[in-house]
Amino acid sequence: MSPTLTAFKALVRKDIALFVRDRRALVVSVLTPIVVAAFFGFLFGGTGSGGNPISRMAVGITDLDDTALTQAVIESLTQDESLAIQVVPEDQARQLVKSGKLRAAIVFPAGFETAATGALVGLGQMPDIKLSYDPSQTMVRPMVAGLLTQHVMQRISRPNFIGSSKPAPFNLVNTAVTTGPRYNSYAHSFAGISIQFILFMGIDAGVTLLLMRQEGMWRRLRAAPLPRAVLLGSRVAGTTLISMMILAVVYLAACLIFGVRIAGSVPGFVMVAIAFSLLAATTGLMISALGRSVGATRGVAMFSVLILVMLGGAWVPSFLFPEWLQQVTEFVPTRWAVDGLDAMTWRGLPLQSAFMPTAILVGWSVLFAAIAVWRFNWEDD
Amino acid sequence: MQLVADHLQKKFGAITAVAGVSFAARPGEVLGLLGPNGAGKSTTISMLAGLTKPDSGSVTIDGVTLGTGADPTKRRLGLVTQEIALLEELPARMNLEFFGGLYGLAGHALAARIAAVLELTSLADRAGDPPNEFSGGMRRRLNIACALLHEPQILLLDEPTVGVDPQSRNAIFETIEVLAGEGRTLIYTTHYMEEVERLCDRIVIIDHGKVLADDTLAGLLASAPVANKLTLTYDLPPDGAALAEITGLPGVIQVDLAGTALSVSATDLGTAAPRVLERLAARGFSCQELTSRRSNLEDVFLALTGRTLRDT
């Protein structure tokens, strides 16, 4: 084996030995993402097997009409699994919405049944249903309006209200569509949270290099007859391997404890994992090249990673973002890491679906590495 | 192997750290680089180790110019950094395996070298313990051991005894003497004149990035306008006539009086002391206390720069 390769191996082995030797840091590096991902996974629906009940929206109803139709609609709304209906007086309903205890309040006016059935066959004016809602819950208004329309139409179109009319001309059959198994929200949360914590580890690797400069270790490494590519390349290789180890252990826990499955391509999953680990390592290298003081560098880097992780959809799926922001996040590498891991786990997509995320992650890694090499200060110890 | 520094110059922005430093270190010789903090010793060592590229001038090892980066000539050098640069959480043996690996050592060759340096630095019985459980002196010794694994013929020691107790310092000195006895070239930087006086065959005094003197200890003491000092305390201050007589004695360079304390600088204390005592006794002055001090590197540095090493 050539002396240079021996040196490269010694440098990589040293990084791994230091990581493994620090038992407390090792446990934190692995346990923290598992615990946080488990929490987020539980919040967003768990395994989807019915073990974690859906959170119902609290909605108040005031029935000023008190007729067979309004009572039937209220009964129908009460049976809807998305809603928690409370029948309350109008003033109280508004007060509960104001205080945040109800998400919305519906008021059926007096004469609703007569006016609504007449309007349905073209006689008279349409009645108004008042819908009050909490402005902080932007998704509530369209959801409640939709559900209300559905239930009113289902009831009003029955023969006992408009004689010869027929029930709604369709049945809505809901099917969760993935090519993989039943959706498991743990799969998404483990992808996002693993990415966050591995990027934190990448920052630590970068900051460690700054500390090595301060403590004279970097001088000592440079005293050896080694090319710069070996000194920097071994840092990237060591951090990449450590990232892959963390990902492997975290996903093993995800599979064994939380039922996450790599329902897509296993080679595709490995490809995305390697590409992302490389990204974490080159992020750390770039930080060590751009940073000066340890404290300031760590602070700025942590902030940047949190922004990247947030925009990448690691905390909240990116499809909930406004459309313009979704477009912006296509330029964020973490988005591709999350999407790539999602694709290979719960979405169950084939190997080809891993190519684009892998290529983009490798592209960003090359860019970060190039910046690191360009900006690295070799002489200032 | 001979190391030659030839007109080394290095600037950092507007500050000139090293301004034309030249000297040569020969095999089996311990060359001391003596100077106060900030004199340019560490920058000079950085250039000698191939860490920093000089703005001008060169470093050659047996006639081969030393470069930076992956220059194979660096294999002939070992650097003991001023900072204790160790992997504090890993056992001493793993530290040695790591530093040996950097120079391409592996397998039996590495194991043999590790055994040898542990023996040399008297750390064999602590090889399984991490440096963060060592005393300051043991950590310094391991720091030296890490630089010896690849058997460098030239060893650069940058203030290797900072913060160690006297016992460990002596152990380090013994190691250095063994290495010099094996014919290696050693360059030793320090701002402790006592270390230089004990260890170094030749001394290069540096200040403000320039070489002020380059000679053996005896040569420096002989060439610099410095003297041995005799201090006498009398019951009464000697009068002007007495001072004039003392000043005129052979070998007396200077006489100063502060209260009742008389300070006499002389080229040879053995000759001057009895004469001074005799002449003043004859004039009725009674000596209460007498001290003498041989001139040293501190005096040489003071004579060359107008400052003491510890003032700076």
Q: In this predicted structure, what is the pLDDT of residue A344? A: 93
* pLDDT of the residue at A82: 82
Residue ending a domain, choose from B195, B222, B249: B222
CATH code where residue A140 lies: 3.40.1710.10
Return the CATH number at B257. Answer: 3.30.70.1560
Distance to chain A for B157, nearest Cα, Å: 12
Inspect the interface and report whether the beta carbons of B99 and A13 lie closer than 8 Å: no
A179 confidence band (pLDDT: 50, 70, 90): low
Where are the strands (E) in chain B, listed by range?
3-12, 15-25, 30-34, 56-61, 64-65, 77-80, 154-158, 185-190, 202-207, 210-215, 228-234, 252-258, 261-266, 287-293
- Do B46 and B96 fall within a single domain? yes
Cα dist. A78→A60, A63, A152, B72, B207 in Å? 11, 14, 13, 82, 90
Kindly tell me if the per-residue pLDDT of A338 is higher than 50.
yes
Kindly state whether residues A199 and A272 are assigned to the same domain: yes
Confirm whether B33 is domain-assigned: yes
Q: Does residue B274 sit within a domain?
A: yes
Rg, Å, chain A Cα set:
29
The whole-number pLDDT of residue B294 equals 78
Same domain, A360 and A276: yes
The interface predicted TM-score (ipTM) is 0.82
- Distance of residue A230 Cα from the nearest chain B Cα, in angstroms: 10
Where a domain ends, among B204, B222, B240? B222
User: Is the pLDDT at A4 greater than 60, yes or no?
Assistant: yes
Asked whether the whole model's pTM tops 0.95, one would answer no
Instruction: Say yes or no: A244 and A341 in one domain.
Output: yes
Determine whether the interchain pair A225/B90 forms a contact, defined as Cβ–Cβ distance below 8 Å.
no
Residues B37, B312 contacting (CB under 8 angstroms)? yes
- Let me know if residue B307 belongs to a domain: no
**Is residue B69 in some structural domain?**
yes
Write the pLDDT tens digit of every residue in A78-95: 988 888 999 999 999 988
Contacts of A3 in chain B (CB under 8 A): 103-104
Mean pLDDT of all residues in A98-116: 88
Is there a single domain that holds both residue B242 and residue B267? yes
Distance (Å, rounded) from C-alpha A241 to C-alpha A235? Answer: 10
**Residues A206 and A315 grouped into a single domain:** yes
Residues B178 and B234 in one domain: no
Q: Which domain holds residue A14?
A: 10-48+190-375
Q: What does the pLDDT look like over B233-276, one tens digit per residue?
A: 998 899 999 999 999 998 888 898 999 999 998 888 888 889 99
The confidence score (pLDDT) of residue A50 equals 47
| Residues A120 and A239 placed together within one structural domain of the fold | no
Residue A163 or residue B146, greater confidence = B146
Question: What is the rounded average pLDDT of the residues A122-127?
Answer: 83
Q: What is the CA radius of gyration of chain B?
A: 24
B74: enclosing H helix or E strand: none
Closest C-alpha among A122, A164, A144, A126 to residue A58: A144
Residue B32: C-alpha distances to residues A211, B39, B127, B166, B198 (Å): 30, 14, 31, 19, 10
What torsion do the CA atoms of B45, B49, B53, B59 make, to the nearest 10 degrees?
A: 90
Mutation target to probe the B interface, by most B beta carbons within 10 A, among A219, A226, A381 is A219
Position A258 in a domain: yes
d(CA A295, CA B117): 37
CATH number at residue B86: 3.40.50.300
Whether residue B217 is contained in a domain is answered as: yes
Which residues does chain B have within 8 Å of residue A227's beta carbon, measured at their own beta carbons? 69-70
Judge whether A181 lies within some domain. Answer: no
Residue B46's pLDDT is what?
Answer: 93
Whether B17 and B147 map to the same domain: the answer is: yes
Where does a domain end: B222, B250, B283?
B222
Whether B299 maps to a domain, the answer reads no
Pick from B82, B97, B106: CB nearest A216: B82
Give the nearest partner residue to A10 out of B81, B83, B101, using CB atoms. B101
**Residue A51 — very low, low, confident or very high, per pLDDT cuts 50/70/90?**
very low
Q: What is the average pLDDT across A31-50?
A: 78
Assigned token pair, A309: 């992780």
- Total number of domains in chain A: 2
Which residue among B72, B100, B102 places its CB closest to the CB of A221? B102
* Cβ contacts of B176 within 8 Å, gap of 6 or more: B30, B157, B186, B188, B199
Which residue positions in chain B have pLDDT lower than 50?
A: 312
Establish if A2 belongs to a structural domain.
no
| Model pLDDT, residue B253 | 85
- Same structural domain for residues A322 and A206? yes
Does residue A160 have a pLDDT over 70? no
In which band, very low, low, confident or very high, does the pLDDT at A185 lie, cut at 50, 70 and 90? confident
B155 and B187 Cβ atoms separated by less than 8 Å: yes
One domain, residues A134 and A24: no
Is the pLDDT higher at B144 or at A101?
A: B144
Task: Find, in chain B, the residue whose alpha carbon is nearest to that of A228.
Answer: B69
The phi, psi pair for A125, rounded to 5°, reads -85, 150
State mean pLDDT over A183-203: 90
Using CA atoms, how far residue B33 sits from A69, B168, B195, B205, in Å, is 102, 21, 11, 6
Q: Do both A203 and A315 map to the same domain?
A: yes
Chain B contact present for A23, CB below 8 A: no
pLDDT for residue A161 is more than 80: no
Tell me, what's the pLDDT at B228?
80
Residue A170 domain flag: no
In a shared domain, residues A317 and A366: yes
pLDDT band at A221 (very low <50, low <70, confident <90, very high): very high
Q: What is d(CA A337, CA B211) in angstroms, rounded to the nearest whole number?
A: 59
Residue B311 belongs to some domain of the structure: no
pLDDT one-digit tens code per residue, A136-148: 776 788 888 888 8
pLDDT of residue B312: 47
User: Could you tell me if residue A76 is inside a domain?
Assistant: yes
Verify that B237 and B128 share a domain, yes or no.
Answer: no
* pLDDT single digits (tens) A252-308: 999 999 989 998 999 999 999 999 999 999 999 999 999 888 888 888 888 888 998
* Letter string b/e over residues B33-52, b meaning 16 or more CB atoms within 10 A of that residue's CB: bbbbeebbbbbbbbbbbbbb
Contacts with B170 (C-beta within 8 Å, 6 or more apart), sequence order: none
Query: In terms of residue numbers, what domain contains B287?
Result: 227-294
Nearest to B98 among A3, A10, A22 (CB): A10
The answer to whether position A94 is within a domain reads: yes
Residue A279 lies in a domain: yes
Q: Are residues A232 and A94 part of one domain?
A: no
**Is residue B304 in some structural domain?**
no
- Could you tell me if A197 and A326 lie in one domain? yes
Number of domains present in the structure of chain B: 2
Do A61 and A42 belong to one domain? no
B200 and B169 share a domain? yes
Has residue A342 been placed in a domain? Answer: yes
Q: Please, which residues bridge with residue B32 across strands?
A: B188, B203
- From chain B, the residues in CB contact with A222 under 8 A are 51
